[in-house]
Chains A and B, each alone.
Chain A
Amino acid sequence: MSPTNPSRTTVITDQVAESITRVEELGYEIKVREVMTEKVKCLNPTMTMRETVEMFRQEMISGAPVVTEAGKLVGVVSMEDLIHCLCKSDLDATVEKYMTPDPISVHEYEPVVEALKTFVNSKVGRLVVLNLEGDLAGILTKGDITRGFLKALQRDYENEELRKYRARHLFEDINSDRTSLILRYTIKAGDFTHGGQASSNIKRALLRLGASPQLARRVGIAVYEAEINLIIHTNEGGIIRAEIEPHRISIRVFDNGPGIENVELAMQPGYSTATEEIRELGFGAGMGLTNIARCVDNMALESVPGSGTRLRMKFFLDEESVGEGLSRNKETS
Protein backbone atom coordinates (compact mmCIF):
# COMPACT_ATOMS: atom_id res chain seq x y z
CA MET A 1 0.00 0.00 0.00
CA SER A 2 1.10 3.56 -0.58
CA PRO A 3 2.58 5.63 2.21
CA THR A 4 -0.56 7.79 2.32
CA ASN A 5 -2.53 4.77 3.43
CA PRO A 6 -3.88 5.83 6.79
CA SER A 7 -3.40 3.50 9.70
CA ARG A 8 -5.66 3.54 12.72
CA THR A 9 -3.40 5.82 14.67
CA THR A 10 -3.01 8.65 12.13
CA VAL A 11 -5.51 11.44 11.86
CA ILE A 12 -7.00 11.62 8.39
CA THR A 13 -7.08 15.20 7.17
CA ASP A 14 -9.30 16.21 4.28
CA GLN A 15 -6.22 16.41 2.11
CA VAL A 16 -5.18 12.85 2.91
CA ALA A 17 -8.78 11.69 2.52
CA GLU A 18 -8.84 13.10 -0.99
CA SER A 19 -5.79 11.12 -2.02
CA ILE A 20 -7.17 7.81 -0.77
CA THR A 21 -7.72 5.65 -3.81
CA ARG A 22 -10.77 3.52 -4.44
CA VAL A 23 -8.69 0.41 -3.84
CA GLU A 24 -7.59 1.73 -0.46
CA GLU A 25 -11.19 2.47 0.40
CA LEU A 26 -12.12 -1.06 -0.54
CA GLY A 27 -9.55 -2.29 1.97
CA TYR A 28 -11.66 -0.71 4.68
CA GLU A 29 -15.05 -1.58 3.23
CA ILE A 30 -14.54 -5.24 2.44
CA LYS A 31 -14.45 -7.77 5.24
CA VAL A 32 -12.05 -10.69 5.26
CA ARG A 33 -14.91 -13.20 5.05
CA GLU A 34 -16.01 -11.76 1.70
CA VAL A 35 -12.72 -12.62 -0.02
CA MET A 36 -11.35 -15.63 1.91
CA THR A 37 -11.41 -19.20 0.65
CA GLU A 38 -13.93 -21.22 2.62
CA LYS A 39 -14.14 -25.02 2.77
CA VAL A 40 -10.40 -25.43 2.88
CA LYS A 41 -8.67 -28.79 2.86
CA CYS A 42 -7.41 -29.48 6.37
CA LEU A 43 -4.65 -31.72 7.68
CA ASN A 44 -4.77 -33.81 10.81
CA PRO A 45 -1.80 -33.63 13.21
CA THR A 46 -1.39 -37.41 13.11
CA MET A 47 -1.16 -37.63 9.29
CA THR A 48 2.30 -38.21 7.80
CA MET A 49 4.17 -35.59 5.82
CA ARG A 50 4.09 -38.03 2.86
CA GLU A 51 0.30 -37.88 2.91
CA THR A 52 0.57 -34.10 3.11
CA VAL A 53 2.70 -33.91 -0.05
CA GLU A 54 0.20 -36.16 -1.84
CA MET A 55 -2.69 -33.97 -0.75
CA PHE A 56 -0.95 -30.74 -1.80
CA ARG A 57 -0.28 -32.29 -5.20
CA GLN A 58 -3.83 -33.51 -5.71
CA GLU A 59 -5.48 -30.34 -4.52
CA MET A 60 -2.85 -28.13 -6.15
CA ILE A 61 -2.39 -26.11 -2.99
CA SER A 62 0.74 -24.94 -1.24
CA GLY A 63 -0.39 -24.92 2.35
CA ALA A 64 -3.15 -26.08 4.68
CA PRO A 65 -4.35 -25.60 8.26
CA VAL A 66 -3.95 -28.40 10.75
CA VAL A 67 -7.06 -29.26 12.73
CA THR A 68 -7.54 -31.94 15.42
CA GLU A 69 -10.33 -34.51 15.40
CA ALA A 70 -12.18 -32.27 17.84
CA GLY A 71 -12.02 -29.45 15.31
CA LYS A 72 -9.41 -27.37 17.11
CA LEU A 73 -6.95 -25.42 15.00
CA VAL A 74 -3.39 -26.23 16.03
CA GLY A 75 -1.14 -25.03 13.19
CA VAL A 76 -0.48 -24.72 9.47
CA VAL A 77 1.79 -26.53 7.06
CA SER A 78 3.33 -24.35 4.38
CA MET A 79 5.76 -25.06 1.55
CA GLU A 80 8.56 -23.91 3.81
CA ASP A 81 7.64 -26.54 6.40
CA LEU A 82 7.52 -29.13 3.65
CA ILE A 83 10.97 -28.18 2.32
CA HIS A 84 12.28 -28.37 5.85
CA CYS A 85 10.98 -31.92 6.09
CA LEU A 86 12.25 -32.93 2.63
CA CYS A 87 15.75 -31.68 3.47
CA LYS A 88 15.82 -34.12 6.35
CA SER A 89 14.25 -36.89 4.21
CA ASP A 90 11.74 -37.29 6.98
CA LEU A 91 8.52 -37.80 5.01
CA ASP A 92 7.21 -40.45 7.37
CA ALA A 93 7.16 -38.05 10.29
CA THR A 94 3.82 -36.72 11.47
CA VAL A 95 2.39 -33.38 10.46
CA GLU A 96 2.59 -32.30 14.09
CA LYS A 97 6.38 -32.45 13.97
CA TYR A 98 6.86 -30.10 11.03
CA MET A 99 3.79 -27.82 11.13
CA THR A 100 4.09 -24.20 12.25
CA PRO A 101 2.14 -24.06 15.49
CA ASP A 102 0.09 -21.05 16.59
CA PRO A 103 -0.54 -19.79 13.07
CA ILE A 104 -1.03 -16.10 12.41
CA SER A 105 -4.72 -15.47 12.17
CA VAL A 106 -7.24 -12.76 11.33
CA HIS A 107 -10.84 -12.46 12.24
CA GLU A 108 -13.46 -13.05 9.54
CA TYR A 109 -15.22 -9.75 10.31
CA GLU A 110 -12.06 -7.65 10.21
CA PRO A 111 -11.56 -5.35 7.22
CA VAL A 112 -9.17 -6.58 4.56
CA VAL A 113 -6.77 -3.75 5.35
CA GLU A 114 -5.99 -5.41 8.71
CA ALA A 115 -5.09 -8.61 6.90
CA LEU A 116 -2.89 -6.64 4.50
CA LYS A 117 -1.03 -5.09 7.43
CA THR A 118 -0.53 -8.55 8.92
CA PHE A 119 0.82 -9.81 5.59
CA VAL A 120 3.29 -6.92 5.46
CA ASN A 121 4.45 -7.35 9.05
CA SER A 122 4.66 -11.15 9.16
CA LYS A 123 5.89 -11.99 5.62
CA VAL A 124 3.71 -15.14 5.60
CA GLY A 125 1.87 -16.13 2.44
CA ARG A 126 -1.34 -17.30 4.05
CA LEU A 127 -3.41 -16.30 7.03
CA VAL A 128 -5.82 -18.47 8.96
CA VAL A 129 -9.25 -16.91 9.27
CA LEU A 130 -11.15 -17.49 12.50
CA ASN A 131 -14.84 -17.05 13.20
CA LEU A 132 -16.32 -15.44 16.31
CA GLU A 133 -16.00 -18.72 18.26
CA GLY A 134 -12.30 -18.89 17.42
CA ASP A 135 -12.75 -21.86 15.08
CA LEU A 136 -11.35 -22.13 11.56
CA ALA A 137 -13.53 -20.25 9.06
CA GLY A 138 -11.20 -20.23 6.06
CA ILE A 139 -7.83 -19.31 4.60
CA LEU A 140 -6.72 -16.00 3.18
CA THR A 141 -3.94 -15.49 0.63
CA LYS A 142 -2.86 -12.28 -1.10
CA GLY A 143 -4.35 -13.77 -4.26
CA ASP A 144 -7.76 -13.98 -2.54
CA ILE A 145 -7.53 -10.27 -1.72
CA THR A 146 -6.56 -9.31 -5.27
CA ARG A 147 -9.44 -11.34 -6.69
CA GLY A 148 -11.84 -9.80 -4.16
CA PHE A 149 -10.73 -6.27 -5.05
CA LEU A 150 -11.04 -6.91 -8.77
CA LYS A 151 -14.56 -8.21 -8.27
CA ALA A 152 -15.49 -5.18 -6.18
CA LEU A 153 -14.04 -2.77 -8.77
CA GLN A 154 -15.98 -4.56 -11.48
CA ARG A 155 -19.12 -4.14 -9.39
CA ASP A 156 -18.38 -0.38 -8.97
CA TYR A 157 -17.89 -0.02 -12.69
CA GLU A 158 -21.12 -1.81 -13.50
CA ASN A 159 -23.01 0.37 -11.02
CA GLU A 160 -21.69 3.57 -12.62
CA GLU A 161 -22.59 2.26 -16.08
CA LEU A 162 -26.04 1.43 -14.81
CA ARG A 163 -26.44 4.91 -13.31
CA LYS A 164 -25.48 6.52 -16.61
CA TYR A 165 -27.75 4.16 -18.50
CA ARG A 166 -30.66 4.93 -16.20
CA ALA A 167 -30.15 8.67 -16.53
CA ARG A 168 -29.98 8.39 -20.31
CA HIS A 169 -33.14 6.36 -20.50
CA LEU A 170 -35.06 8.38 -17.95
CA PHE A 171 -37.35 9.86 -20.53
CA GLU A 172 -37.88 6.61 -22.38
CA ASP A 173 -38.63 4.47 -19.34
CA ILE A 174 -41.17 6.72 -17.71
CA ASN A 175 -44.46 7.05 -19.55
CA SER A 176 -46.63 10.10 -19.30
CA ASP A 177 -48.21 12.56 -21.66
CA ARG A 178 -45.48 14.98 -20.82
CA THR A 179 -42.47 14.02 -18.71
CA SER A 180 -40.07 16.60 -17.41
CA LEU A 181 -37.32 16.84 -14.86
CA ILE A 182 -37.20 20.01 -12.80
CA LEU A 183 -34.08 21.22 -11.01
CA ARG A 184 -34.33 24.16 -8.60
CA TYR A 185 -31.54 26.19 -7.06
CA THR A 186 -31.64 29.04 -4.56
CA ILE A 187 -28.99 31.68 -5.18
CA LYS A 188 -27.92 34.09 -2.44
CA ALA A 189 -27.12 37.71 -3.21
CA GLY A 190 -23.42 38.55 -2.88
CA ASP A 191 -22.39 34.90 -2.58
CA PHE A 192 -19.51 34.89 -5.04
CA THR A 193 -17.91 31.87 -3.37
CA HIS A 194 -20.68 29.59 -4.56
CA GLY A 195 -21.39 31.50 -7.73
CA GLY A 196 -21.56 29.11 -10.63
CA GLN A 197 -22.37 26.04 -8.58
CA ALA A 198 -25.96 25.86 -9.80
CA SER A 199 -24.93 26.24 -13.44
CA SER A 200 -22.18 23.63 -12.99
CA ASN A 201 -24.75 21.24 -11.59
CA ILE A 202 -27.21 21.87 -14.40
CA LYS A 203 -24.49 21.37 -17.00
CA ARG A 204 -23.41 18.10 -15.36
CA ALA A 205 -27.00 16.86 -15.15
CA LEU A 206 -27.50 17.53 -18.85
CA LEU A 207 -24.35 15.60 -19.76
CA ARG A 208 -25.49 12.69 -17.59
CA LEU A 209 -28.84 12.75 -19.30
CA GLY A 210 -27.06 12.35 -22.61
CA ALA A 211 -27.15 15.92 -23.94
CA SER A 212 -24.43 16.80 -26.43
CA PRO A 213 -21.46 18.77 -25.05
CA GLN A 214 -22.42 21.72 -27.29
CA LEU A 215 -25.90 21.95 -25.82
CA ALA A 216 -24.63 21.51 -22.26
CA ARG A 217 -22.13 24.30 -22.88
CA ARG A 218 -24.74 26.73 -24.24
CA VAL A 219 -27.09 26.06 -21.33
CA GLY A 220 -24.20 26.23 -18.85
CA ILE A 221 -22.98 29.61 -20.09
CA ALA A 222 -26.45 31.16 -20.20
CA VAL A 223 -27.38 29.94 -16.72
CA TYR A 224 -23.99 31.00 -15.37
CA GLU A 225 -24.47 34.57 -16.56
CA ALA A 226 -27.96 34.60 -15.04
CA GLU A 227 -26.65 33.15 -11.80
CA ILE A 228 -23.94 35.82 -11.59
CA ASN A 229 -26.62 38.46 -12.24
CA LEU A 230 -28.62 37.19 -9.25
CA ILE A 231 -25.50 37.40 -7.11
CA ILE A 232 -24.47 40.89 -8.27
CA HIS A 233 -27.72 42.72 -8.83
CA THR A 234 -30.43 41.43 -6.51
CA ASN A 235 -31.40 42.39 -2.97
CA GLU A 236 -31.95 38.88 -1.66
CA GLY A 237 -30.81 36.57 -4.43
CA GLY A 238 -33.28 34.48 -6.40
CA ILE A 239 -34.29 31.14 -7.81
CA ILE A 240 -33.12 29.22 -10.85
CA ARG A 241 -35.55 26.64 -12.12
CA ALA A 242 -34.50 24.38 -14.97
CA GLU A 243 -37.06 22.14 -16.61
CA ILE A 244 -35.65 19.43 -18.81
CA GLU A 245 -37.86 17.75 -21.36
CA PRO A 246 -36.96 15.44 -24.24
CA HIS A 247 -37.49 18.17 -26.81
CA ARG A 248 -36.52 21.33 -24.94
CA ILE A 249 -34.97 22.86 -21.88
CA SER A 250 -36.76 25.77 -20.24
CA ILE A 251 -35.04 27.86 -17.62
CA ARG A 252 -36.64 30.46 -15.41
CA VAL A 253 -34.65 32.80 -13.24
CA PHE A 254 -36.53 35.07 -10.89
CA ASP A 255 -35.89 37.43 -8.01
CA ASN A 256 -37.72 39.91 -5.83
CA GLY A 257 -35.92 43.06 -6.72
CA PRO A 258 -34.78 45.69 -7.10
CA GLY A 259 -35.80 45.20 -10.75
CA ILE A 260 -34.35 46.78 -13.89
CA GLU A 261 -35.22 50.42 -14.67
CA ASN A 262 -34.79 50.12 -18.40
CA VAL A 263 -34.77 46.59 -19.84
CA GLU A 264 -33.90 47.76 -23.33
CA LEU A 265 -30.86 49.60 -22.05
CA ALA A 266 -29.82 46.64 -19.92
CA MET A 267 -29.85 44.42 -23.01
CA GLN A 268 -27.36 46.67 -24.82
CA PRO A 269 -23.84 45.22 -24.98
CA GLY A 270 -21.51 47.07 -22.63
CA TYR A 271 -24.20 48.66 -20.49
CA SER A 272 -23.59 47.91 -16.84
CA THR A 273 -24.52 49.19 -13.41
CA ALA A 274 -21.95 47.02 -11.63
CA THR A 275 -19.64 48.50 -9.02
CA GLU A 276 -15.87 48.80 -9.36
CA GLU A 277 -15.47 45.94 -6.86
CA ILE A 278 -17.46 43.59 -9.04
CA ARG A 279 -15.55 44.65 -12.15
CA GLU A 280 -12.34 43.69 -10.40
CA LEU A 281 -13.69 40.15 -10.17
CA GLY A 282 -13.96 40.09 -13.95
CA PHE A 283 -17.69 40.67 -14.10
CA GLY A 284 -19.99 43.58 -14.69
CA ALA A 285 -18.74 44.35 -18.18
CA GLY A 286 -22.29 44.64 -19.41
CA MET A 287 -22.02 41.53 -21.55
CA GLY A 288 -24.05 39.11 -19.43
CA LEU A 289 -27.45 39.50 -21.06
CA THR A 290 -25.79 39.73 -24.48
CA ASN A 291 -24.07 36.43 -23.81
CA ILE A 292 -27.31 34.86 -22.68
CA ALA A 293 -29.07 36.03 -25.85
CA ARG A 294 -26.28 34.48 -27.90
CA CYS A 295 -26.63 31.07 -26.24
CA VAL A 296 -30.38 30.60 -26.03
CA ASP A 297 -32.97 29.87 -28.71
CA ASN A 298 -35.53 32.08 -27.09
CA MET A 299 -35.42 34.53 -24.22
CA ALA A 300 -37.79 36.90 -22.46
CA LEU A 301 -36.81 39.41 -19.83
CA GLU A 302 -39.47 41.16 -17.79
CA SER A 303 -38.81 43.47 -14.93
CA VAL A 304 -40.82 45.75 -12.71
CA PRO A 305 -38.68 48.22 -10.77
CA GLY A 306 -39.26 47.69 -7.08
CA SER A 307 -40.79 44.27 -7.46
CA GLY A 308 -38.44 41.97 -9.35
CA THR A 309 -37.09 40.46 -12.54
CA ARG A 310 -38.04 37.34 -14.46
CA LEU A 311 -35.84 35.85 -17.12
CA ARG A 312 -37.07 32.96 -19.24
CA MET A 313 -34.77 31.05 -21.54
CA LYS A 314 -35.56 28.20 -23.89
CA PHE A 315 -33.35 25.75 -25.70
CA PHE A 316 -34.88 23.57 -28.38
CA LEU A 317 -33.24 20.25 -29.02
CA ASP A 318 -32.58 19.89 -32.73
CA GLU A 319 -30.76 17.10 -34.54
CA GLU A 320 -27.23 18.41 -34.08
CA SER A 321 -27.45 19.15 -30.38
CA VAL A 322 -29.13 15.89 -29.46
CA GLY A 323 -27.20 13.24 -27.59
CA GLU A 324 -28.19 9.65 -27.09
CA GLY A 325 -30.74 10.16 -24.36
CA LEU A 326 -32.38 13.50 -25.01
CA SER A 327 -33.98 12.81 -28.32
CA ARG A 328 -35.95 14.96 -30.62
CA ASN A 329 -39.64 15.01 -30.16
CA LYS A 330 -41.38 16.23 -33.30
CA GLU A 331 -44.19 17.76 -31.28
CA THR A 332 -43.93 21.50 -31.03
CA SER A 333 -44.71 23.36 -27.87
Chain B
Amino acid sequence: MKIRKILELTKGKIVNDYDDLDREVKGGCGADLMSDVLASIQPEAVLLTGLCNPQVVRTAVMADVAAIIMVRGKKVPQATIDLANEEQIPLILSPCGMFELCGVLYNAGLPCFEKPISEDECICDE
Protein backbone atom coordinates (compact mmCIF):
# COMPACT_ATOMS: atom_id res chain seq x y z
CA MET B 1 0.00 0.00 0.00
CA LYS B 2 1.38 3.40 -0.96
CA ILE B 3 1.91 6.20 1.59
CA ARG B 4 -0.53 8.25 -0.50
CA LYS B 5 -3.30 5.71 0.11
CA ILE B 6 -2.49 5.52 3.82
CA LEU B 7 -2.79 9.30 4.14
CA GLU B 8 -6.20 9.15 2.50
CA LEU B 9 -7.47 6.25 4.66
CA THR B 10 -6.17 7.67 7.94
CA LYS B 11 -7.20 11.28 7.18
CA GLY B 12 -3.58 11.90 8.06
CA LYS B 13 -0.92 14.38 7.08
CA ILE B 14 2.85 14.11 6.98
CA VAL B 15 4.38 16.38 9.61
CA ASN B 16 8.05 16.13 8.61
CA ASP B 17 9.89 16.80 5.35
CA TYR B 18 9.06 13.77 3.30
CA ASP B 19 7.61 13.69 -0.18
CA ASP B 20 7.94 10.16 -1.58
CA LEU B 21 4.22 9.41 -1.46
CA ASP B 22 4.68 6.42 -3.75
CA ARG B 23 6.77 4.52 -1.23
CA GLU B 24 5.33 1.06 -0.62
CA VAL B 25 4.39 -0.11 2.84
CA LYS B 26 3.97 -3.88 3.05
CA GLY B 27 2.13 -4.35 6.31
CA GLY B 28 1.16 -2.83 9.63
CA CYS B 29 1.85 -3.08 13.33
CA GLY B 30 0.29 -1.21 16.24
CA ALA B 31 2.10 -0.85 19.56
CA ASP B 32 2.98 1.59 22.30
CA LEU B 33 5.62 -0.56 23.86
CA MET B 34 8.81 -0.09 21.92
CA SER B 35 10.08 -3.48 23.03
CA ASP B 36 6.98 -5.05 21.50
CA VAL B 37 7.76 -3.28 18.26
CA LEU B 38 11.35 -4.48 18.29
CA ALA B 39 10.25 -8.00 19.13
CA SER B 40 7.45 -8.42 16.68
CA ILE B 41 7.52 -6.12 13.67
CA GLN B 42 8.64 -7.35 10.27
CA PRO B 43 10.59 -5.03 7.93
CA GLU B 44 8.85 -2.40 5.78
CA ALA B 45 5.73 -2.09 7.89
CA VAL B 46 3.87 1.02 8.98
CA LEU B 47 4.00 1.46 12.75
CA LEU B 48 0.90 2.84 14.49
CA THR B 49 1.61 4.25 17.91
CA GLY B 50 0.21 6.58 20.56
CA LEU B 51 3.67 7.78 21.49
CA CYS B 52 5.39 10.69 19.85
CA ASN B 53 8.82 10.94 21.49
CA PRO B 54 12.01 10.67 19.41
CA GLN B 55 12.57 7.11 20.60
CA VAL B 56 9.70 6.03 18.34
CA VAL B 57 11.82 7.09 15.37
CA ARG B 58 14.94 5.40 16.77
CA THR B 59 12.95 2.23 17.29
CA ALA B 60 11.58 2.52 13.76
CA VAL B 61 15.09 2.79 12.33
CA MET B 62 16.25 -0.28 14.23
CA ALA B 63 13.24 -2.28 13.14
CA ASP B 64 13.34 -1.13 9.48
CA VAL B 65 9.91 0.49 9.73
CA ALA B 66 8.79 2.22 6.51
CA ALA B 67 6.44 4.81 8.02
CA ILE B 68 5.10 5.91 11.41
CA ILE B 69 1.51 6.87 12.15
CA MET B 70 0.96 8.83 15.34
CA VAL B 71 -2.63 8.35 16.40
CA ARG B 72 -5.12 10.75 17.99
CA GLY B 73 -3.60 13.92 16.53
CA LYS B 74 -1.12 14.79 19.24
CA LYS B 75 1.39 17.59 19.07
CA VAL B 76 4.58 15.99 17.78
CA PRO B 77 7.74 17.34 19.48
CA GLN B 78 10.25 19.06 17.22
CA ALA B 79 12.98 16.63 18.30
CA THR B 80 10.91 13.76 16.89
CA ILE B 81 10.35 15.61 13.62
CA ASP B 82 14.05 16.48 13.33
CA LEU B 83 15.09 12.88 13.86
CA ALA B 84 12.53 11.63 11.32
CA ASN B 85 13.94 14.11 8.79
CA GLU B 86 17.44 12.89 9.48
CA GLU B 87 16.43 9.27 9.06
CA GLN B 88 14.09 9.98 6.11
CA ILE B 89 11.08 8.26 7.64
CA PRO B 90 7.62 9.70 7.00
CA LEU B 91 5.78 10.77 10.18
CA ILE B 92 2.04 10.67 9.64
CA LEU B 93 -0.25 12.38 12.13
CA SER B 94 -3.84 11.09 12.13
CA PRO B 95 -6.80 12.44 14.10
CA CYS B 96 -8.28 8.94 14.52
CA GLY B 97 -7.66 6.50 17.34
CA MET B 98 -5.53 3.35 17.34
CA PHE B 99 -8.35 0.77 17.13
CA GLU B 100 -10.09 2.59 14.30
CA LEU B 101 -6.89 3.09 12.30
CA CYS B 102 -5.76 -0.51 12.62
CA GLY B 103 -9.23 -1.62 11.49
CA VAL B 104 -9.38 0.76 8.55
CA LEU B 105 -5.94 -0.21 7.23
CA TYR B 106 -6.51 -3.93 7.79
CA ASN B 107 -9.86 -3.78 6.00
CA ALA B 108 -8.27 -1.96 3.09
CA GLY B 109 -5.98 -4.95 2.62
CA LEU B 110 -2.87 -4.01 4.60
CA PRO B 111 -1.65 -7.27 6.17
CA CYS B 112 -0.63 -7.70 9.80
CA PHE B 113 3.16 -7.49 10.14
CA GLU B 114 3.31 -8.50 13.79
CA LYS B 115 5.09 -11.80 14.17
CA PRO B 116 3.17 -14.09 16.53
CA ILE B 117 5.12 -14.98 19.67
CA SER B 118 6.59 -18.44 19.77
CA GLU B 119 4.84 -21.16 21.74
CA ASP B 120 7.44 -21.46 24.48
CA GLU B 121 7.15 -17.76 25.17
CA CYS B 122 3.38 -17.83 25.45
CA ILE B 123 2.10 -18.26 28.99
CA CYS B 124 -1.60 -18.36 28.09
CA ASP B 125 -1.95 -22.11 28.78
CA GLU B 126 -0.16 -22.09 32.10
| A221 with B38, Cβ < 8 A, contacts A192-B53, A213-B64, A282-B32 known | yes
A224 sits at the interface (CB 8 A):
yes
A256 sits at the interface (CB 8 A):
no
Q: How many residues of A contact B (CB 8 A)?
A: 27
Cβ-defined contact, A224 with B38, below 8 A: yes
Contact with B along A193-236 (1 / 0, CB 8 A): 10111011001000000000100010011001100100000000
Task: Tell me the B66-93 residues at the A interface (CB within 8 Å).
Answer: 79, 85, 87
Which of A217, A228, A283 lies in contact with B63, CB distance below 8 A? A217
B16 to chain A, nearest CB (A): 12
Contact with B along A271-292 (1 / 0, CB 8 A): 0000000000111011110110
- Interface majority SS on A: helix, strand, loop or mixed? helix
B87 to chain A, nearest CB (A): 8
Given the complex of chains A and B, what is the CA–CA distance between A306 and B98 in angstroms?
Answer: 42
Contact with A along B14-38 (1 / 0, CB 8 A): 0001000000000000001111101
A202 to chain B, nearest CB (A): 10
Name the B residues within 8 Å of A220 (CB-CB): 61-62
Contact with B along A164-197 (1 / 0, CB 8 A): 0000000000000000000000000000110111
Name the A residues within 8 Å of B56 (CB-CB): 282
Contact with B along A137-149 (1 / 0, CB 8 A): 0000000000000
Name the A residues within 8 Å of B54 (CB-CB): 192-193
Cβ-defined contact, A294 with B39, below 8 A: yes
Name the B residues within 8 Å of A196 (CB-CB): 55, 58-59, 61-62
Name the A residues within 8 Å of B43 (CB-CB): 213, 217
Cβ-defined contact, A283 with B55, below 8 A: yes
A269 sits at the interface (CB 8 A):
yes
Name the A residues within 8 Å of B59 (CB-CB): 196, 224, 282
Cβ-defined contact, B38 with A282, below 8 A: no
Cβ-defined contact, B64 with A192, below 8 A: no
Listed residue (A197, A213, A217) with the most chain B CB atoms within 10 angstroms of its CB:
A217
B53 to chain A, nearest CB (A): 6
Name the A residues within 8 Å of B38 (CB-CB): 221, 224-225, 287, 291
Q: Which residue of B has the minimal Cβ distance to A270? A: B123
Name the B residues within 8 Å of A228 (CB-CB): 34, 55
| A192 with B33, Cβ < 8 A, contacts A213-B43, A221-B63 known | no
The 5 closest A-B pairs by CB, nearest first: A196-B58, A287-B35, A282-B34, A220-B62, A285-B33
Q: A-contacting residues of B (Cβ < 8 Å)?
A: 17, 32-36, 38-39, 43, 49, 51, 53-56, 58-59, 61-64, 79, 85, 87, 121
18 A-B contact pairs sorted by A residue (CB < 8 Å): A192-B55, A193-B79, A199-B58, A199-B62, A200-B58, A213-B43, A217-B62, A217-B63, A220-B61, A221-B38, A225-B38, A228-B34, A269-B121, A281-B51, A282-B32, A282-B55, A287-B39, A291-B35
